[in-house]
A and B are shown apart, each in its own frame.
Chain A
C-alpha cells in the first residue's frame, strides 16, 4: 500500500485512562482529536472556520492531589524520622508512605488536571480531554488563534460591513425625549 501523505502535526500529547489515549493533531484547515484505545482510533474534526471559541474552566483535581499527598508526605516523613527511633517497622512504613506520596505530589504539581478545555462551534461543544494544564491551554490557543482568525477573516469582514456608515449630514440622536 502506498504511503499516505502525512497531513497532521501533533499539537498536544497524550492523556487518557487505562487502555485509552487522547491526542490532538493539527492540519491545514482543521484540528483532529484522536481517541485511541487498544484496537481502534476514533476521530473528531473541528474546522477552523467553524470554531466559535474556546472555554477553559478550572478543575480542582490538581489542588486536591497536591494537598492530600502533601499531608501524607509530611505524616510519612514525621513517622519515619520521629516514629520508630531508628530501625523499627514504623520507620519502614513511614518511608514507604513518604516516598509514595512524594511521587503523587510530583504528579499533582506537574501533571494533574488543572482545567477543562472546551472548543465550541455552532452545533457542538467538545471537551479536549488532553488539554489538562493551563500552560497547555495557553499553548493551544496561541497556536490555533492566528489560524482560526485567518480562516474566519471573511466572517469578520462581513461583521464590520454589516452597518454601513451614515451619509454626511445625518447623525444618530442619543438624547432621550420625553413624551
Chain B
C-alpha cells in the first residue's frame, strides 16, 4: 500500500525514517511504501503520537512591567539563576535542582552537561587493554604494565559504565599488570645477579 505524503502539517503523522517526509494514512501497524522516496516500511505505532507537543507561550508585556532580555515585547517570567537576566516563558530553560536558566547559559554549560550525562570515558577498558593486548608484543609490557596500574588507580573513583558498572576489568588489569611487573623485576634481578657473578 502506498502511503501518501501528508498534505498539511500534522504532528500525529509520523515521518518516513529515510526521507523524513510526513506520511498520511498510517494505521497502528502494517506495511506500506513511502509516497516520496518509495522506501518499503513495516511499522508499529503507539498512542503517544496523538499527544500534543507542549508549546511555551509568553505573555505580552504591559507598560511598566519587566520584559525579557531577549524578547522586548514579552513579559519576564523568571530570572536566570546563572547570569541574572530576565527571561520570558519561551526563553526559560529548566535546569538541575529546580534552577531556571537562559539559553546562552545553557549553551555555555552544555559541553560539561553532555560530557557528564551522555558520554563517559571507560577507564576500566583502557586499563584492561593496557594490561592484556601488549602481551602480544611482550617487550612493550615494561611500559604498559605500570601504565595499566596508574590507569586503575586514576579511574577507580571515576564514573563507571552505566551498563557494566562492576570492577571486573579493573581487577583483571591489576592482576595482569602486577604479574608482568613482577616478571620484569625478576628478570632484572636475574640479569643483575648474573652480571655480578
Contacts and interface: CB of A to CB of B under 8 A. Distances in A.
Interface string A92-134: 0000000000000000000000001010111001010000000
Given A1-B156, A4-B165, A53-B46, A41 B119 contact: yes
A101 B51 CA distance: 51
A39 B125 contact: yes
Contacts, number: 112
B157 interface: yes
Given A38-B129, A155-B51, A56 B41 contact: yes
Interface residues of B, number: 39
Given A43-B162, A56-B41, A127 B17 contact: yes
B163 A52 contact: no
Interface in B34-86: 39-51, 53
A52 to B, nearest CB: 4
A151 to B, nearest CB: 9
Given A32-B163, A43-B118, A56-B42, A155 B126 contact: no
A39 B121 contact: yes
Contacts of A4: 160, 165
B167 interface: yes
A69 interface: no
A25 B163 CA distance: 8
